[in-house]
Amino acid sequence: MNRTEIQTLGEFGLIDRLTSGITPKDSTTIKGIGDDAAVLDHKSYRTLVTTDILLEGVHFNLEYVPLRHLGYKSAVVNISDICAMNGRPTQLVVALGISKRFSVEDIEELYSGIRIACERYGVDLVGGDTTASLTGLTISITCIGEAKKDDVVYRSGAQVNDIICCTGNLGAAYMGLQLLERERIASAGDNEQAQKAFEGKEYILERQLKPEARRDIVLKLGEAGIRPTSMIDISDGLSSELLHICKASGVGCSVYADKLPIDYETAAMAEELNMDVVTCALNGGEDYELLFTISQKDYDKILPLEDVSLIGYIQKAEYGCNLVTRSGNEIKLKAQGFDAYSE
Amino acid sequence: MNRTEIQTLGEFGLIDRLTSGITPKDSTTIKGIGDDAAVLDHKSYRTLVTTDILLEGVHFNLEYVPLRHLGYKSAVVNISDICAMNGRPTQLVVALGISKRFSVEDIEELYSGIRIACERYGVDLVGGDTTASLTGLTISITCIGEAKKDDVVYRSGAQVNDIICCTGNLGAAYMGLQLLERERIASAGDNEQAQKAFEGKEYILERQLKPEARRDIVLKLGEAGIRPTSMIDISDGLSSELLHICKASGVGCSVYADKLPIDYETAAMAEELNMDVVTCALNGGEDYELLFTISQKDYDKILPLEDVSLIGYIQKAEYGCNLVTRSGNEIKLKAQGFDAYSE
C-alpha cells in the first residue's frame, strides 16, 4: 500500500480526501460536512451539531494552562461553532481520555471550567464518556444547538459586493500564546518572574487562556434585523477563514490592512517580539471572533453595532482573495493559520 | 489539594462525582446525563445524542485489529447506544487524533470502516474534526438519532414482574478477544500459525472485531407492538448493565444461569481456556446485544421474535440483583465488567 504522509495533505486536504463522495441520505440531514456545524431538520427548527477534539501537547500545554481554563476553553470553542451558524447553543456532550497522571481533583477542575462555560452560555451538559488513556489528556466535545429554519447561516452564502465584517479584535490570542511560551522558557518555573513579565499584558493572556464565543453578537445581529449572508468563527486565523468563505461561496475578496481591528496590547507585544502585527492579525489562530458578510442594504443597520469592524468586501471569484496593504498594494491571502499537521 | 486516584472511584464513580448537581435547564433537554443517550425535545420527535471515545492501547490494539474493522466498530458502538434508547440512528460526527505513525492511507482505511457502518445502518456522516496527536490514535464519535416522543425507552422504566430479555448471545466478543490476545503472544507475528489457530473460531472473532448494533431487534419490537419498559446495550457485560437498569429503575432482579444464551464457539473457547462460561457471559464486555425488560402482558408477543432470550424477571428492590445458578443457588450480581480504569 502507498504511504502518503498526512502533512503532505494538511488537515483540510486530509478531510477533503476522507470525506469525498459522502452525501447525506437521511431526510433530516440538511447539511453535512463542510461548515462550522452540521444542520439537521426538525420541522420549523434546525438542529446544529459540531465537534472538536483537543489533545495534550498539541492543542494545550498544561505547564501554563490551568485545567479550569482548559475546560472552559474546550467548551467555548464548540459553542463558538454553533454561534458561527447563527444558532443558539443548547447542549454539550464531553468525552475524556485521562492518564494516571491526573487525579480526580484534576478532572474536577477541568469539569468545573466546562460547567462554568455551560452556565455562562446557557448550555446543558447532557452526556459523555470518560476513559483511561495511556498518555496525556484528551478532550472531545460535541455541541448541539438550534436555529429557526430561515436563520441558519452557512459559509457559502457570500455574494459579490457584500461587506465583510469581523467582531472584536484579531491576533490577541496568538500574542498571548507567544508570551506564555516565552515566559515558560525564560522563567523556567520561577512564578514571580513570570508574573512580572505578565503585567500590563493581562488582556492578551485572557484572550489565549479564556476565550469567549460571540453569542452576544449573534443576539445583537438578530435584534438589528441583520441576517449575515455567510459566517464562520475565527479559529485558524482570519486569512484561513476568509478563504473558507470565499471557496464555499465561489467568490473572491478584498480586505484592508488598515481596517483590521487590533488591540494595543497585541500591537505592543508584536513589536516587543519583532513580529509584523498585520501578519499576526491575519494568521494568528484561536481568536474565536466571528467573521461574516452582510448585504450592502444592511450597511446602515450594522454601523451602530459595537465591537463590529467592517474590513473589506466580497469580489468576483476571478479577482482572487487579496489583502490591500496600507500602501495600496494587493497581496494574495494565504492560509498560514494554525494547522496541527504543519507544526 | 487532595489527590484521589481515579481508580479508587472507577469510571462510574468518577462520572457520578463530576456530574453531581448538573441539572438540565434548556427547555429542549428532556434527559441529560445517565442513560445510553441524551434526549432532546423537538416537538413530536425526540433527538438522541451519544458519544464514545476509543483510545489506542486502551480500547484497541492495532497489532490484531485491522483499521477498517476498528472504524466499523467505532461507529457501531455509538449506533448501538441510539438503538438502546429505542431510537433510529440518523447522523454521526467523527473526531480523530492521529500520530505521525499513520499515513493518509491508514486513515482512509479507518474511515472506510466508518463509512461502511454508516451505509449499513443508514446513518449520515455529517461532520468531524481531525488533528495531529503526539501518541497513537484517538477516535471520538458522537451519534445523533431520533425517536417519536412516546417511543423513547430509558434505563429507568423497569417494573416489578417485568420479564428480562436479551438479544443474540453473550460472552462471544470477550472470548474472541481472549483468542486474539493469546495468538498475538503465541504466534508472535507468524500469520500462518495464527490463521490456523483461528480456524473454526470465526464467529467469536467476528463478534470481537466486527460487532453489530441490534437495530434489527428495535425494528422487530416496533412491528410486534412491544415497547420495552427499559433498555440498555451490553457494552460492559450483562451484570454491569443489569445493575444499571435496576439502579435506575429502583428495582431488583433474578436472572437464570441456564437461560443465558451462549454460542457453542463461546462455550468451546471458554473450556479451552479453562474459564467459567457463565462468568464470561455475565462479565464479558463488547457484545453490543440489547438488554431490555417488557411487561408480562407482552409475553405472547415476544415469544415469536427470533434471537431474543427471556433470561429472568424484575424483583422488588429489597431482593437485590441475583443470579440463580443451575443448582438453584442465588449469587449476588457484581459489576466486574470492562472498566478501563481497573485494568
Instruction: Please list the residues that pair with A313 across neighbouring strands.
Output: A163, A254
Closest Cα in chain A to B37: A127
Which of A3, A40, A98 faces B103 most closely, judged by CB atoms? A3
SS3 state of residue B13: helix
Residue B296 CB-density burial (10 A; 0-12 exposed, 13-18 middle, 19+ buried): exposed
Q: Do B299 and B232 share a structural domain?
A: yes
* Site from A12, A15, A18 to mutate, B interface, most B CB atoms within 10 angstroms: A18
Which of B3, B107, B134 faces A18 most closely, judged by CB atoms? B107
Domain housing A313: 155-332
> For residue A190, is it within any domain?
yes
Predicted pLDDT at A1: 63
Q: Do A172 and A312 share a structural domain?
A: yes
Predicted pLDDT at A277: 94
Q: A121: which chain B residues are within 8 Å (Cβ-Cβ)? A: none
Q: Do B168 and B118 share a structural domain?
A: no
Q: What is the mean pLDDT of residues A246-264?
A: 96
* Site from A25, A140, A341 to mutate, B interface, most B CB atoms within 10 angstroms: A140
> For residue B15, is it within any domain?
no
Closest Cα in chain A to B130: A11
DSSP B198: H
CATH of residue B101: 3.30.1330.10
Q: How confident is the model at residue A184 (pLDDT cuts 50, 70, 90)?
A: confident
Q: What is the mean pLDDT of residues A196-219?
A: 94
Instruction: Please list the residues that pair with B313 across neighbouring strands.
Output: B163, B254
CA distance to partner chain A, nearest, from residue B101 (Å): 9
Which of B24, B105, B142 faces A3 most closely, judged by CB atoms? B105
Q: Do B127 and A49 touch (CB under 8 A)?
A: yes
Cell of residue B227, nine digits: 415497547
pLDDT at A341 over 70: no
pLDDT at A338 over 50: no
Predicted pLDDT at A300: 97
DSSP A162: P
SS (H, E, C) B153-181: CCHHHCCCCCEEEEECCCCHHHHHHHHHH
CA distance to partner chain A, nearest, from residue B116 (Å): 11
> For residue A341, is it within any domain?
no
pLDDT at A342 over 50: no
Going by C-alpha positions, the residue among B324, B230, B336, B218 that lies closest to residue B285 is: B336
pLDDT at A337 over 90: no
Q: Do B183 and B91 share a structural domain?
A: no
Which of A105, A127, A146 faces B32 most closely, judged by CB atoms? A127
CA distance to partner chain A, nearest, from residue B66 (Å): 14
* Site from B85, B142, B152, B339 to mutate, A interface, most A CB atoms within 10 angstroms: B142
Q: Do B211 and B139 share a structural domain?
A: no
Q: Are B46 and B110 in contact (CB under 8 A)?
A: no
Rounded to whole angstroms, the Cα distance separating A43 from A150 reads: 11
Q: Do B40 and A47 touch (CB under 8 A)?
A: yes
Domain final residue, candidates B91, B123, B151: B151
The pLDDT tens digits along chain B (343 residues) read 678 887 787 766 777 777 777 777 777 777 777 677 777 777 778 889 999 999 999 899 998 899 999 999 999 999 999 999 999 999 889 999 998 888 888 988 999 999 999 999 999 888 888 888 888 899 999 999 989 989 999 999 999 999 999 999 999 999 999 999 888 888 777 778 888 888 999 999 999 999 999 999 999 999 999 999 999 999 989 999 999 999 999 999 999 999 999 999 999 999 999 999 999 999 999 999 999 999 999 999 999 999 999 999 999 999 999 999 999 999 999 877 444 333 3
Rounded to whole angstroms, the Cα distance separating B264 from A117 reads: 52
Predicted pLDDT at A134: 87
Q: What is the mean pLDDT of residues A181-187?
A: 84
Q: A32: which chain B residues are within 8 Å (Cβ-Cβ)? A: 91, 124-127
Number of H helices, E strands in chain A: 11, 13
Q: Do A4 and B50 touch (CB under 8 A)?
A: no
> For residue A339, is it within any domain?
no
Q: Do B64 and B139 share a structural domain?
A: yes
CATH of residue B193: 3.90.650.10
Question: Total structural domains in chain B?
Answer: 2
Q: Are A4 and B105 in contact (CB under 8 A)?
A: yes
Query: Would you tell me how many other CB atoms lie within 10 Å of the CB of residue B219?
Result: 12
> For residue A340, is it within any domain?
no
Domain final residue, candidates B128, B151, B174: B151
CA distance to partner chain A, nearest, from residue B117 (Å): 13
Stretch (H or E) spanning B207: helix B202-209
pLDDT at A343 over 50: no
Predicted pLDDT at A335: 78
Going by C-alpha positions, the residue among B30, B134, B139, B11 that lies closest to residue B76 is: B139
Rounded to whole angstroms, the Cα distance separating A334 from B273 reads: 60
Q: A93: which chain B residues are within 8 Å (Cβ-Cβ)? A: 38, 49-51, 142
pLDDT at A253 over 80: yes
pLDDT at A127 over 90: no
Domain final residue, candidates A125, A150, A175: A150
Predicted pLDDT at B69: 95
Q: Do A37 and B341 touch (CB under 8 A)?
A: no
Q: Do A221 and A204 share a structural domain?
A: yes
> For residue B284, is it within any domain?
yes
Predicted pLDDT at B341: 38
Q: Are B26 and A124 in contact (CB under 8 A)?
A: yes
pTM: 0.89
Cβ pairs A/B, distance under 8 A: 264
pLDDT at A15 over 80: no
Stretch (H or E) spanning A215: helix A215-223
Q: A102: which chain B residues are within 8 Å (Cβ-Cβ)? A: 6
Predicted pLDDT at B340: 38
Rounded to whole angstroms, the Cα distance separating A275 from B214 reads: 58
> For residue A342, is it within any domain?
no
> For residue A60, is it within any domain?
yes
Q: Do B313 and B165 share a structural domain?
A: yes
Rounded to whole angstroms, the Cα distance separating A192 from A120 reads: 32
CA distance to partner chain B, nearest, from residue A338 (Å): 11
Q: A49: which chain B residues are within 8 Å (Cβ-Cβ)? A: 91, 93, 126-127, 142, 144
Q: Do A209 and A124 share a structural domain?
A: no
Mean of all residue pLDDT scores within chain A: 90
Which of B25, B42, B111 faces A18 most closely, judged by CB atoms? B111
pLDDT at A137 over 90: yes
Predicted pLDDT at B339: 42
Q: Do A112 and A213 share a structural domain?
A: no
Q: A50: which chain B residues are within 8 Å (Cβ-Cβ)? A: 93, 127
Assembly ipTM: 0.86
Predicted pLDDT at B11: 67
Residue A81 CB-density burial (10 A; 0-12 exposed, 13-18 middle, 19+ buried): buried
Q: Do B164 and B111 share a structural domain?
A: no
SS3 state of residue A53: strand
Q: Do A178 and A61 share a structural domain?
A: no
The 10 Å CB-count burial string (b at 16+, else e) for B92-126 is bbbbbbbbeebbbebbbbbbebbbbbbeebebbbb
Predicted pLDDT at B1: 63
Our measurement of the distance from residue B74's CA atom to the centroid of its chain's CA atoms, rounded to an integer in Å, reads 11
Rounded to whole angstroms, the Cα distance separating A72 from A93 reads: 14
